[in-house]
Amino acid sequence: MDITNKARIHWACRRGMRELDISIMPFFEYEFDSLDDTDKQLFVRLLENDDPDLFNWLMNHGEPADADLRRMMALIQERNKQRGPVAM
């Protein structure tokens, strides 16, 4: 997926599982533009994973085998924690 196609990335962020939506969507909306191109591509690659895996990783019930994906998950969790709850 092209990292400049924000509409498509936004669509890919909509997971249909509320727990994922309240973690992934705010990160995309508030943080994506500030990422460098490497991290944008990494975020897009993260979105290619299945919902159950994303859910487990976000809830700290396991972690991705890939070190870069682990770093992106940690970044999402940290930025969401710093920002606090966002009404959806």
Percent of the chain with pLDDT over 70: 95
Domains of the chain with CATH codes: 6-83 (1.10.150.250)
Each residue's pLDDT tens digit, 8-33: 999 999 988 888 998 999 999 999 99
Task: Write the single-letter amino acid at 63.
Answer: E
Q: Give pLDDT, residue 71.
A: 97
Q: Give pLDDT, residue 87.
A: 52
Distances (CA, A) of 68 to 16, 18, 27, 42: 25, 25, 17, 7
Question: CA 54 to CA 62: how far, in whole Å?
Answer: 10
Q: What is the mean pLDDT of each run of 10 residues along the chain (88 residues)?
A: 90 90 93 96 96 94 96 95 72
